[in-house]
Chains A and B, each alone.
Chain A
Amino acid sequence: MTSVAVAGRPGRAVSQLAIRQIRRGGLIVAVLAGGMTAIVAATFDQVMADPAAAGSLQALASNPAIRTLFGDPIGLDTAGGFTVWRVGTVTTVLLGAWAILATTRTTRGEEEGGRWDLLLSGRITLTGALARHLAAVMAIAVATAVGITGALIASGTPAPGALIHGMGTGLAGLFFGATAALAAQIFPTRTPATGTAVAVLAVTLLARMIGDGVPALGWLRWLSPFGLMALSEPYVHNRAVPLLVLLAAAATVTVAVPLAAARRDVRGGLVAPPTGRPARLRLLDNVEAFAIRRVLRPLTGWALGIGAYFLLIGLTATSVTEFLAGNPALAGQAAEAGFADLGSVAGFAATLFALLAMPVGGFATVRLSAFVAAETDQRLALLAAQPISRARLLGAETAATAAAAVLLISVAGLTTWAGVALTGGHLALTAALHGVWNTFPVVLLSLGAAVLATGWAPRWTGVLGALPAIGGFLLLVIADSVAAPAWVKSLSPYSHLAPVPLAGADWAATAVMLALTAVLTVAGLAGYRQRDLRS
C-alpha cells in the first residue's frame, strides 16, 4: 500500500512523512495557544467586575518591570487588549520555539542521522524534501493563528483585532520556522542550527523588551517579530503595516532556504564542520577529571540560562517589591496565594530562590540520564574495561554533577545580588548566597534519587531523579490548590525549606534531607556495582 504510494506520488509520501513527524506536537501547540487565549479572554469580565482587581491590574500594568516582561499594556480596558497583553507573548514564544525545534528535528536532524539518504536517492530532490517538511511546520503555524483568531472572535472580541493578533502570531511562527530551516542549511548538524534559531528568538524578544522599556530605542521593535506584533496594536489601532513587514521578512527568509540548500551537499552545510582540530588533552587523566570535562559544556549553558533569569529577577526585585509594598491589596492577594513577604527584597528573593531547586534538580537528573545514555549506547564500554571500579565510575559522575550544581545555584545567587545592586536595592551578597545554598539539599535529593535509579533501574533515572525537585514542587502546588491534608504537603521537600534569607535555615530539615541523600547514593552505588552494564 505505502510502497505503491511512494512509487506513484513520491512528493505526497514525503509530505505525509513530514506531517506524521510533527502532528502530535503541532496539535498540542495549536490547542494550547487557542485554549489559553480563550480562557484568559473569558476571565476578563470577572476581573473587570471587581473594581479592586481592576485597579490592581492597572497598577500592575504600569509597573516598569512588568511592562518590560509582558510588553506595553495597550487597550487593557477591552477583553481583546487584555488577552493580548496577558498571553500574547507566551503563545508567540510557544509557537516560535516549537516551530524551531520541529523544523530542525525533521530536516537537519533526519538528514544528519542519515535517514534522508534513502529518501533523496529516489525522485525527491533536497529542495523538494525541505519545502515539504517546512510546509508541514508552517501549516501548524497557520492552524494556530486560525485557532487564536477563532478563540478571540468566539469570546466576543471585535474581529479586526482578533485577526491582527492571530495573524501576527501566525506570521511570527512562519518566520521562526523559516529561520530554523535556513539555519539548518547553514550548519551541517542539528545542534548549532537549533541554537542559532533559538538565539534569534531570544534576541528579538529582548529587542522588543528594550524597545518597550527605553523610548529612545523604540525603533528596535521594527527589527523583531515580537516588536512588530506590538506595533500592530491589535484592538486599539489594528495597524496592518507592521504585519506586512513581518510577512515580507518571513517570505524573504523562506525564499532564502531553497537558495541556500542549492549550494550545499546532502549531509553538508554552507559552513563545513571542522574537519580536524588540535587535541585538547586537559582533564583527560582520570575518570574524575573526565567527568568534570564532560560537565563543563552543559554547565555553561545552564549557567547562562539560570544566570539570565535570576539577573532579571534581581533587576526587577526592587521595583516589584516597592510596588507591592505600596499596594497592600495586591500584596494581600499574593499572600493568599502563598507568597508571603513579597513586599521586601529578602522575602521576594527567598520565594524565588526556592524555585531554583527545580531547574538545578533537573540539571542533576539530566546529567545522570546522560551517563545512563552513554552506558546504553556503549560509549562507556571502553572506560568500563579499564582498571576502574564501578563505584568510582558512578561516584566521579555524581561528584562532578554535585559540584556543578553548587556552581549553578551560586551563579543564581550572584546574578540576583548583582541585579539588585545595579538597581540600587538592598540585598547583601552573603544573604543571597545563603538563600540559594539553602535549596541545595533539595537538589541533592534529586541527584541521590537519580543515582539510586542508575544503580537499580537505569531506565527510570529521568523520572526518579525529577521526583524530589520537580515532582515535589508540583505536589506542593497541587496540594495547596486542592487544600490537601498537611501530611500530603509535608511529603514535598519544598515544604521543609525555610525562606532564607528572610529567615534562618531549618537545620533539622536540612540534616534529614542530607541523610536521605546519603542513603539514596550509597544504595545506588551498591546497585551499580553488582548489576550488568546495559548491552
Chain B
Amino acid sequence: MTDIALRAVHLTKRYGRLTALDDLNLDVIRGEVFGFLGPNGAGKSTTIRLLLGLARPSSGHAEVFGVAAADVTRAHRLLAYVPADVALWPHMTGAEILHLQARTGPGTDLAYRDELVDRFELDPSKPARTYSTGNRQKVALIAAFATRAPLLVLDEPTSGLDPLMEREFRTAVRSARDRGQTVFLSSHQLAEVEAVCDRVAILRAGHLADVATMSGLRALHRSEVTVSYTGPAPALAVVPGVEAITETGEGQLRFTLTGPPAPALRSLAAAGVTALAVREPSLEEVFLDYYGTENGR
C-alpha cells in the first residue's frame, strides 16, 4: 500500500454550467489528520462524493491508497464515511443500523464500538425516526470510528453536536490518529480544524486556495504587534514584512508583521521598549485573508 491515503489528480466536477470543483490536485499522507476547510457551497461535499465514487468526476481521477475511487468494492474496504446529512432508515433502531454497518463494512472493533456508544451517550434502542440531527450524526460517527479502516472520511461531522459531544469527537479523532488511521475532515468551522488537524487545505468556490500545516498557515499570515516604548520612535517603515503602522497613543505603536520577526525586533531594540504584545491571528482572520470580505462564491 502506498503512503498516499487519498489522491486527487486534476479532479473536476461540473453540474451543467456550474463548476463545483475545478482541477483539484491533492495528496493526503497516511497517518495525518487532514482538514478540508471551506465555506458552504465551496465544493467540499462534492469532492468527498468524488473521492468515494458516489459521483463520477467530469475529468481527472481520484485514488484511495492507490486504488481507483471508482472501484468501490476495493476502495471502500479501506475507508469509512460519515456523510454531511446523515439520514437513517426510520424503523430501524440505532443498534440495528450499527449492526448492519458493521456486517457490511470493512471490519469493526465491536468492543470499541460499544465504548463509543457510551461516550457519545447514544441510546441505541430507539428507532431512528426519533433521533435528532445530532443523534443521527452520532450513529454514523460511531459506525465510522469503530471501523479499523485505514482512512476515515468525515463530511462536516459535528454540525449537529453539542459542545460536550464535540469534545468526544475530538478525542475520537486523536485516538484514530494514534492508531495510525488517516482522517480526512471537511469543515467550515475553524476552531475544529485548528484543534485536531495536522494539515489543512482551503477550498474556495471549487478552487484549492492553499494547502499548509497549521503552523505554516499561521506563519504565512500577519501577526499583530503592539509595542510601548520610551526612546526614539523606531524606523519600522523600512523593515520588510511590517505593514499598517498606526500610532495608538503617546509612545505606543501597532503594526502587522508577516514572516520572520528578527528584522523588526532589531529595529525595536533601540527604542527602549517597555511592553510588547504579539497576537497570533485566529484562523478566522486567516480565513478572511483568503476569502476577502465577499463570501466565497
Contact = CB atoms under 8 A, between A and B. Distances in A.
A287 B76 CA distance: 15
Interface in B116-142: 123-127, 130, 140
Given A385-B76, A535-B45, A279 B99 contact: yes
Given A378-B83, A535-B55, A389 B73 contact: yes
Given A279-B124, A286-B103, A535-B45, A384 B54 contact: yes
Interface in B177-236: none
Of B72, B77, B101, which is in contact with the most chain A CB atoms at under 10 Å from its CB? B72
Interface string B84-108: 0111110101011101110111100
18 contacts: A276-B93, A279-B99, A281-B95, A284-B96, A284-B103, A285-B103, A378-B87, A385-B52, A385-B79, A386-B101, A387-B104, A388-B76, A390-B72, A531-B56, A533-B49, A535-B45, A535-B54, A535-B55
Interface residues of B, number: 41
A279 B125 contact: yes
A286 B79 CA distance: 18
B54 A533 contact: yes
B74 interface: yes
Interface in A337-352: none
Nearest to B48: A385
Nearest to A297: B91
B176 interface: no
A535 to B, nearest CB: 7
Interface string B60-77: 000000000000111111
A327 interface: no
B33 interface: no
Contact of A388 (B93, B104, B126): B104
Contact of B127 (A274, A297, A531): A274
A279 B103 CA distance: 15
A60 B83 CA distance: 63
Classify chain A: how many residues form its interface, as a range. Answer: 35 or more
A276 B54 contact: no
Q: List the 10 shortest-distance A-B pairs measured between CB atoms, nearest first.
A: A276-B125, A385-B81, A279-B95, A532-B55, A387-B76, A378-B87, A387-B77, A284-B100, A379-B87, A381-B83
B150 to A, nearest CB: 13
Given A297-B91, A385-B83, 19 more contacts: A276-B93, A276-B126, A281-B95, A284-B103, A285-B103, A286-B103, A287-B104, A294-B89, A378-B85, A381-B83, A384-B52, A384-B72, A385-B79, A386-B105, A388-B73, A531-B56, A532-B55, A532-B56, A535-B54
Interface in A275-303: 275-281, 284-287, 290, 294, 297
Interface of A: 273-281, 284-287, 290, 294, 297, 374, 377-379, 381-390, 530-533, 535
Given A287-B104, A387-B73, A535-B49, A382 B126 contact: no
A379 B123 contact: no
A273 B106 CA distance: 34
B24 interface: no
Given A287-B104, A379-B87, A385 B54 contact: yes
B143 interface: yes
A386 B143 CA distance: 11
Given A276-B125, A277-B125, A379-B89, A386 B83 contact: no
Contact of A275 (B99, B101, B126): B126
A73 to B, nearest CB: 46
A390 B56 CA distance: 13
